[in-house]
Amino acid sequence: MSEVVSLSAETRDRAGKGGARATRRDGFVPGVIYGNKKAPISIAVSPRDLWVQMNTPGLRSRLFDITVGGAVERVLCRDIQKHKVSGQPLHVDFLRVSGDAKVHVKVSVHFSNQDKSPGLKKGGVLNIVAHELEVIAPGNAIPEELVVDLAGLEIGTSIHLSNLKLPAGVSVVTHEKDATIATIAAPTVSLATETAAETTGEASS
């Protein structure tokens, strides 16, 4: 399950662009908490706290407990608007999550046991097609990552969605049945050498 990070926020009296600008002038990042059939809450978040989370992998699949107005809201980060030049956060959207509700979330793919893959030991190259996948998961059981075990895999192997061991209640959103996640390709140096040798052979003949 994804980790839960605690954050604190203040309520904003004013919504809209004017309220957002006033919040930024006060040194905070404006945001909103919405969803789960409840009224949205306009909030102000510490830019330092938000920056730390932005630079920690797995932001979109990480659960947050935000304390605001004496209550705790469990949420997912749905969107962060950033400054085009500095990259600093300008606005953040949080979606409420309940334990029994299913949510769409992007989860990173981790490739384990690379040192136990005969193909990679021989110099093969791991070509990753999907660094993350969109899944549907229960709000209280969002996987932190999806793991692909490379142990025993040889050069020429293709890893597909069917090779993933998904947690209970989790499914992958895909438009292609059994899409390719990654392949173990032959070493590019070897391919270049073989091509050069074939070219030389053709020229001499």
pLDDT at 161 over 50: yes
Tell me if 44 sits within 8 A of 66, measured CB to CB: no
pLDDT band at 57; cut points 50, 70, 90: confident
Phi, psi for residue 173 in degrees, rounded to 5: -90, 120
Alpha carbon distance 80, 77 (integer Å): 8
**Category of 116 on φ-ψ map: left (φ > 0), alpha (ψ -120 to 50) or beta:** alpha
Only one residue has tokens 């390719």, namely: 180
Predicted local distance difference test score (pLDDT) of residue 191: 47
pLDDT band at 141; cut points 50, 70, 90: confident
Alpha carbon distance 135, 120 (integer Å): 28
Alpha-carbon 201 to chain mean position: 48
Inter-CA distances, 49 with 1, 56, 95, 121, 191, Å: 22, 11, 18, 41, 48
Span 84-94, mean pLDDT? 93
Span 26-36, mean pLDDT? 93
All domains of the chain, ordered by start, with CATH?
4-97 (2.40.240.10), 103-204 (2.170.120.20)
Predicted local distance difference test score (pLDDT) of residue 158: 97
User: Which carries the bigger pLDDT value, residue 124 or residue 204?
Assistant: 124
Predicted local distance difference test score (pLDDT) of residue 98: 84
pLDDT band at 204; cut points 50, 70, 90: low
Predicted local distance difference test score (pLDDT) of residue 34: 94
Tell me if 11 sits within 8 A of 43, measured CB to CB: yes
pTM of the model: 0.74
**Eight-state DSSP code of residue 86:** T
Span 59-72, mean pLDDT? 91
| Average pLDDT across the chain, whole number | 88
Predicted local distance difference test score (pLDDT) of residue 174: 85
Tell me if 104 sits within 8 A of 69, measured CB to CB: no
In 3D, which of 110, 29, 146 has the Cα closest to residue 77? 29
Three-state DSSP at 79 gives strand
**Eight-state DSSP code of residue 13:** S
Predicted local distance difference test score (pLDDT) of residue 168: 87
Q: Maximum Cα–Cα distance for the chain, whole Å? A: 84
